[in-house]
Amino acid sequence: MRGKGLPQFFAQHGIAALAYDKRGYGASTGTIIGATVEDMAGDAAAGVRYLQTRRDIDPSKVGVWAISQGGWMAPVVAATTPQVAFMILHAAPAVSPRLQGRMELVNTWPGLGFSDEQIKKGIEYQNLYFDAMNNDEAYDQALAIYNQSKAGGMPWVWNPGTKDQLRAQWTRPNVDFDPVPFLEKVHCPVLAFFGGRDVLVPPDGNVPRLEAALKKAGNKDVTIKVLPGVNHLFQYPGMGSYGYQTSGKTPPGYYDVMMEWLKKRINSR
């Protein structure tokens, strides 16, 4: 259950929820192109402030829920918005988009038959690809490597696209955004879920950084759950490698754990 199903799920348990389309998606205006993590966090923070003004909402019990990309924004909201009551994270990266991309590459390429040397070259090319989002020289180098790969011998090189296409990605202004300085300022209760078979945000590369940052914040109410056998969608993988295909089955008790944790912190029945 994700997206539009979650507000109904929370409502069934007596908890109000505000869901919105991010910039340029659904009924939302604007565009995500060129928006920084802080810009997008500002959109979510506006929602928090709005809920805190409603007469039918207790302003001291408004928190944030985030998954995947939203995991970069939620700590910004929690660290910079007054009276955020809790933060629930799902597959939230504790590293920059550059490092998260490297983790995905390292986790998936061995199963695609690439050698250690090819993976090493792939990491180098990926770094160049990210640099090319903001640097003309790096773009020219990446394009030259891609054109050379057409002759064979470098099957791991992907097309960087045109300069305009590459720089239209949301990643451009955020490629080296580090969530840790914001996590180090999060004092509200935190519940974080990770999937044991998540190749995009693997627990081993993210949980230690999350724990260390929240410890530095002096946060005493942190619960981290790694769910064995589930993928980035928090479902058991279906057919295919690395969990990109999904069975649609969620681990038993997953939603119960989240709701029990949440109700204890907002004193909801």
What is the pLDDT, as a whole number, of residue 245?
59
Tens digits of residue pLDDT in 110-139: 988 899 999 999 999 999 999 999 999 999
The residues that bridge with 65 in the sheet, in sequence order, are 88
pLDDT higher than 80, residue 5: no
Domain boundaries, the chain: 5-95+178-266, 97-173
Tens digits of residue pLDDT in 22-80: 888 888 888 999 999 999 999 999 999 999 999 999 999 999 999 999 999 999 999 99
DSSP state for residue 45 in the 8-state scheme: H
Strands 64-67 and 190-195: unpaired
Intra-chain end-to-end CA distance of the chain, in Å: 22
pLDDT higher than 50, residue 1: no
- When pLDDT is averaged across residues 243-268 and rounded to a whole number, the result is 81
What is the pLDDT, as a whole number, of residue 4?
55
CATH topology of domain 5-95+178-266: Rossmann fold (3.40.50)
What is the pLDDT, as a whole number, of residue 137?
98
What is the pLDDT, as a whole number, of residue 244?
53
Tens digits of residue pLDDT in 159-191: 999 999 999 999 999 999 999 999 999 999 999
Tens digits of residue pLDDT in 233-246: 888 876 554 545 56
Contact criterion met (CB below 8 Å) for 126 and 101: yes
- When pLDDT is averaged across residues 82-92 and rounded to a whole number, the result is 97
Burial readout 221-231 (b: 16 or more C-beta within 10 A, e: otherwise): ebebeebeebb
The residues that bridge with 193 in the sheet, in sequence order, are 90, 225
What is the pLDDT, as a whole number, of residue 42?
97
Rounded CA separation 231/239 (Å): 12
What is the pLDDT, as a whole number, of residue 150?
78
DSSP state for residue 10 in the 8-state scheme: H
Tens digits of residue pLDDT in 199-233: 999 999 999 999 999 999 999 999 999 999 899 98
